[in-house]
Amino acid sequence: MASAIQVQNLNKTFGSKQVLFNMELDVPKGAMVALIGASGSGKSTLLRHLSGLASADRTNGGTIHALGQQIQGNGHLSHDVRRIRSDIGYIFQQFNLVGRLNVLQNVLLGCLGRMSRLRGTLGLFNAEEKERALHALERVGLLEHAYRRASTLSGGQQQRVAIARTLCQQAEIILADEPIASLDPESARNVMDALADINKKDGKTVIVTLHQVDYAVKYCKHAVALKNGKKHFDGPISGLTNHFLNDLYGSELGTNLLFSDHQEAKEELHEPMLKQVERKVA
Ligand SMILES: Nc1ncnc2c1ncn2[C@@H]1O[C@H](COP(=O)(O)OP(=O)(O)OP(=O)(O)O)[C@@H](O)[C@H]1O
């Protein structure tokens, strides 16, 4: 299957501290991937590199391609990174909406990457773009709030506006960096439902960093786990065995582990695991 994201030999060093090591990653188009790992393992740093928000080491930094186009190589962003980025939607933990604008205006900001600078600067959105933005809001269940000031929405609603913005952007790849970390369980579920819906119905590729393994199991078929800046696992979600998670999270174990029955997760245990998750997350 064609790749949405390809990472080859990515290395990143901050000062004297290397935080990503020889990272290799190939995410097929249409996948929904959970990126997991203990705090400080490098999840956010990797995600920022995938979208060209950060550049790798100048020496032996590796390459990153998005939809077959090189976004960076050896620490140099490609000259047309802005155009490539228009295919990549980015969702932040803290929503990153413009609070004083209304919800619809925030969603329309997703169109800016594909507009001429002049039209964008003047905020001259055309009828097709406005219709697309309204449709995106309908998709995430927030159409009735289109004309509310964004800052008056709840955190979960704001995150769904951010998702609608990526729809309006017509992004093919959605990178979500801990999108539910600051949300209550119901809001978290709504946000993950919206991402899963877009993945399933629109075929968008979603890579989502998650601290809660239960949400990863419930929503993603595939997981990539980082440990100390290295890829530690890359495979079906059923591979996240209790033993593996103990090893991955170490001292964070109490807050992150889901499976308490000490059974090794096998492919055929996937469905029962999901049921357990559903009960836990309900
Ligand atoms: N701008 C920066 N300058 C220096 N060090 C950084 C910078 N950004 C990240 N780091 C370091 O890189 C390592 C990986 O951080 P990163 O935020 O990617 O981890 P994470 O897995 O996303 O953690 P968390 O789950 O807590 O968000 C950490 O040691 C962090 O301190």
Strand boundaries in 157-215, DSSP class E? 173-177, 205-209
For the beta carbon of residue 225, count every other beta carbon within 10 angstroms.
26
Which pLDDT band, with edges at 50, 70 and 90, does 52 fall under? very high
The pLDDT of residue 279 is above 70: no
Residue identifier of the C-alpha nearest atom 24 of ligand 1: 39
Which pLDDT band, with edges at 50, 70 and 90, does 274 fall under? very low
Choice from 21, 23, 36, 43 to test ligand 1 binding pocket (greatest atom count within 8 A of CB): 43
Helix boundaries (H) for 67-184? 81-85, 103-108, 117-121, 127-139, 155-169
DSSP state at residue 237: G
- For 267, list phi and psi in degrees, rounded to 5: -55, -45
Distance CA 129, CA 107 (A): 10
- Looking at per-residue confidence, does 47 or 262 come out higher? 47
Which pLDDT band, with edges at 50, 70 and 90, does 277 fall under? very low
The vertex-175 CA angle with 56 and 21, nearest 5°, equals: 30
Q: Tell me, in angstroms, the distance from the centre of ligand 1 to residue 44's CA.
A: 7
- Looking at per-residue confidence, does 120 or 127 come out higher? 127
Q: What pLDDT does residue 223 have?
A: 97
Q: What is the mean pLDDT of the chain?
A: 88
Q: What is the pLDDT of residues 204-258, one digit of tens each?
A: 999 999 998 999 999 999 999 999 999 999 999 999 988 889 889 885 655 444 5
Give the domains, in start order, of the chain with CATH numbers.
3-87+172-281 (3.40.50.300), 102-171 (no CATH)
The whole-model pTM stands at: 0.88
Interface confidence: ipTM more than 0.85:
yes
Tokens of 82: 């802005």
Q: What pLDDT does residue 252 have?
A: 61
DSSP state at residue 265: P
Choice from 19, 55, 228 to test ligand 1 binding pocket (greatest atom count within 8 A of CB): 19
Q: What pLDDT does residue 270 have?
A: 42
Q: Tell me, in angstroms, the distance from the centre of ligand 1 to residue 255's CA.
A: 19
